[in-house]
Structure 1
Amino acid sequence: MSLTFIFIGITVVLSLYAWNNYSIMHKWIMNPYSVQRNQEYYRFLTSGFLHADYGHLFFNMLSLYFFGANVEYYFSVLFGESTGSLLYAALYLIGIIVANYPDFAKYKNNSGYNALGASGGVSAVVFSAILFNPTDTILIYFIPMPAFMYAVLYSFYSYYMSKRNLDNIGHSAHLYGAGFGVVFTLLLKPALALSCMAQITEYLQRFL
């Protein structure tokens, strides 16, 4: 069975369960203060399987569904089915962990700060997928754009919003997750950097 579907299934089940079981939500959510004080490092990962509400859960899992299957396929072709699956799992799970680091570093002395969601892991998968097919069309609010342009806009927006603190969205987590996805994928397949740039160059030349 596809790991993407397994991750989606586990995340949906655990999110729904935690909404009806406050003790689980309280124990698994990313609370930097608890991590720092009680060495509850498991929260770096468990928080990625919890979501705030149906909308939060739906959009993260929808993104994972569309992009995850592609990355899972490419990894299996490049590294074999077993190794590819392990590497794909590492991309997603470590992406969640890495994405939680900026909030941990910033809020480790703030007992009232909490964070949750799979956005970091999903961002890692999305940006990994973009490396393989940077000129594929992505619809953003029904506006079509090439994937590489989305990646640039997403990165700038996440960076800008992470500095402004205008909402309750973990923009730093998105940025760190995306960055990890790029670095992890290029470490596995360095030639993708040239392939990605060649595809983007060819795409842009159509307009010159």
Structure 2
Amino acid sequence: MSFSITLVIIIITALISWRAFQDNDLKYKMMFYPYNVKHHKEGYRFLSYMVVHADLMHLFFNMFVLYNFGQVMEYMLDFKYGSSLGTFHYLILYIAGGLFATLWPMSKNADNPNYLSLGASGAVSSVFFAYILWNPGATLNLIILPFWDIPAWLLGIAYLAYEYFMAKKGTSNIGHDAHFGGAVFGILYVLLINFEKGQAFISYIFN
């Protein structure tokens, strides 16, 4: 791998997000707005929302997660499939993961003029959950529990349950439905390109 696609994505996202921080009109035009997608044919928003963020903390958190897990996932795909095909799979995982993350919000809010969302969380969730499925034995540390190694698969299940519950509850301005959708895509894509990873994941948990 001669260069990191993950770092390219981070740089592009950071630059565009930073520009949008200074220009609210630009931010608005790039946000995911199901009502305008349906009624004003602004289909470009399915992609543009992934490169703008609400604030610096939102941007930092998404890019921090992507930096830590995206590069590893990118390397593993390159190792398994070769540089060209590995890069292709990684880009599909990220970009299509972000697109897939809009399906649930789109279906619920196509006629809701008050729903808008932004950020790379859905795409990042796709990469993160692909990493979990690819590495069932991995452990993670949370900032709030720095001395406890948590099995990645356990954290993933807890995360999915939480995001689904919060999306159904619908009382937060956080895009839980997009987080859940992106995570599901990451799992499905790994199963599509390497079903044995799913079998190994189940075997690891129950054996």
Deviation at 1:199, TM superposition (A): 2.7
The CA distance in 2 between the partners of 1:132 and 1:111, in whole Å, is 39
Secondary structure at 1:52 match in 2: coil
* CA displacement 1:122-169 (0-9 Å, x = unmatched): 000000000111221112222431000001100110111111122111
Q: TM-score, normalised by structure 1?
A: 0.93
1:192 is aligned to: 197
Q: Which residue of 2 aligns with 1:63?
A: 65
Q: Contact between 2:139 and 2:151, CA under 8 Å: does it hold in 1?
A: yes
Give the Cα–Cα distance (whole angstroms) in 2 for the partners of residues 25 and 146 of structure 1: 37
Does structure 1 residue 35 correspond to structure 2 residue 40? no
Matched, 1:111 2:113: yes
Cα offset for 1:46?
A: 0.7
- Give the aligned partner of residue 161 of structure 2: 156
**Segments ≥4 residues shifted beyond 3 Å:** none
2:84 matches 1:79: no
The yes-or-no answer on 1:12 pairing with 2:17 is no
Q: What CA distance in whole angstroms lies between the structure 2 residues aligned with 1:61 and 1:93?
A: 15
Displacement after TM superposition at 1:188 (Å): 0.4
Hey, what's the Cα distance between the residues in 2 that align with 1:19 and 1:191? 43
Superposed displacement of residue 112, structure 1: 2.3
What residue in structure 1 maps to residue 173 of structure 2? 168
Q: 1:121 aligns with which of 102, 120, 123?
A: 123
Once residues 191 and 151 of structure 1 are traced to their aligned partners in structure 2, the CA distance between those partners, rounded to angstroms, is 19
Moved more, 118-127 or 129-138: 129-138
Superimposed CA distance per residue, residues 97-135 of structure 1 (whole angstroms, 9 cap, x where no aligned partner) = 110121111111122221001011000000000011122
Identity %: 38
> Counterpart in 1 of 2:24?
22
TM-score, with structure 2 as normaliser: 0.94
In structure 1, how many angstroms separate the alpha carbons of the residues matched to 2:158 and 2:137? Answer: 14
Gaps of 5+ in 2: none
Aligned to 2:183: 178
Aligned residues: 202
Deviates more, 1:172-181 or 1:158-167: 158-167
Cα distance in 1 for residues equivalent to 2:116 and 2:171: 16
